[in-house]
Every structure is written in C-alpha cells, then in structure tokens.
Homo-oligomer: A and B are copies of this chain.
C-alpha cells in the first residue's frame, strides 16, 4: 500500500501528512496504555484526566479544571462525583473564598495516577532513547509550540513558566 497525496489547493504549501498521521497513531497508543489499566477500575479516560490534573496541581478549583479539560460542569460533575465517592479525590473549602471547592488527590488517587504515568513513561522513555538528550529537548520545544498560547488556563501557565533547556545545536 502506498499513500496517496490528495490534490492540494493550487499554490498552497505541501501538507504535513506524515506528522499528522504519526500524531494520530502515537497518541492512540499513548492513551491506550492507560485505557487498558483503567478498565480494571471501571474508570474511563475522563476519570484519568480529572485525577491526573488534580494530582499534579493540588488545590485546583473546579473552575480551573473546567478550563483545562474544556468540558462543561455537568460533564465534569458526574465523573468528579464518582471519584469523590470512591475516595480518589477529596474537596476542601477554600480559605479565602469559601465558595470554592479545592480538589486534592488522596493517597489512593495518587497511587493510581502514578501507576498510569508509569506505563506512559515507559513508552516515552523508549521513544526518547531513539533521539538522544538533544532530541528530547527538540521534542519538548515542538510539543510546546503546538499548543495554543492565547488565553492559557492556570495549568498551561504553570507549564509555560518552566523554561525549555537551551538547545545545544
């Protein structure tokens, strides 16, 4: 099988078919690692995303989480309730603003997130080995540049505050 190159609009630059498809397959297998494990817990991808960000950014407000995940509070509500009921996450009332419910992972929650991140880390390590330390920085730069920076949420701000190592090329 050979890949066809659909006619591009006249005068346009070449399309990045290769990267587009590599991203599709890479992301499919990347999230697949976690998906398989989550089945055993009766959780889905939505639960993972919530748990991940709450674990990584303790004290995240509900509104922050909505910004990051880009879903509605009704959608979040269902998933969050399950995680609260089953003891993976706890809520604490905000100190300054008592309307806020700050979210924290329990040890049980942290353990699950770490386990899932472990699976994904194995895949990432394997892939980074192929490109060396300098290549790893290039990959980070590339991924950062793929992300929209207008109107960043709190989590993205935190991520972009971390400087990338200077490229040594």
A interface with B by C-beta (< 8 Å): 1-4, 6-9, 12-30, 32, 49, 52, 55-58, 70, 105, 110, 113-115, 117-118, 120-121, 123-132, 134-136, 138-148, 154-159, 162, 167, 169
Task: Tell me if B114 and A15 are in contact (CB < 8 A).
Answer: yes
Interface residue from B19, B130, B141 paired with A135 (Cβ < 8 Å): B141
Collect the chain B residues with CB atoms within 8 Å of residue A118's CB. 8-9, 12, 15
Is B144 within 8 A of A22, CB to CB? Answer: yes
Contact A20 B124, beta carbon cutoff 8 Å: yes
Residues of the B chain whose Cβ atoms lie less than 8 Å from the Cβ of A169: 132, 134-135, 169
Interchain CB contact (< 8 A) of A56 among B4, B70, B110, B162 = B4
- B-chain residues with CB within 8 Å of residue A23 when the two chains form the complex: 27, 30, 143
Q: Report the separation of the CA atoms of residues A85 and B37 in the bound assembly, to the nearest whole angstrom.
A: 38
Per a CB cutoff under 8 Å, which of B29, B70, B127 touches A142?
B127
Q: How far is the CA of A130 from the CA of B18 in the complex (A)?
A: 18
Q: List 28 A-B contacts (CB under 8 A).
A: A1-B57, A4-B57, A6-B55, A6-B56, A8-B118, A12-B118, A15-B121, A16-B117, A16-B124, A18-B140, A19-B143, A21-B159, A22-B144, A22-B147, A23-B27, A23-B30, A25-B147, A25-B156, A25-B159, A26-B146, A29-B148, A127-B142, A127-B145, A128-B142, A129-B145, A130-B145, A135-B138, A135-B142
User: When the two chains form their complex, are residues B114 and A6 in contact, meaning their CB atoms are under 8 A apart?
Assistant: yes
In the A-B complex, the 4 residue pairs with the smallest Cβ-Cβ separation, listed nearest first, are A127-B145, A135-B138, A22-B143, A26-B146
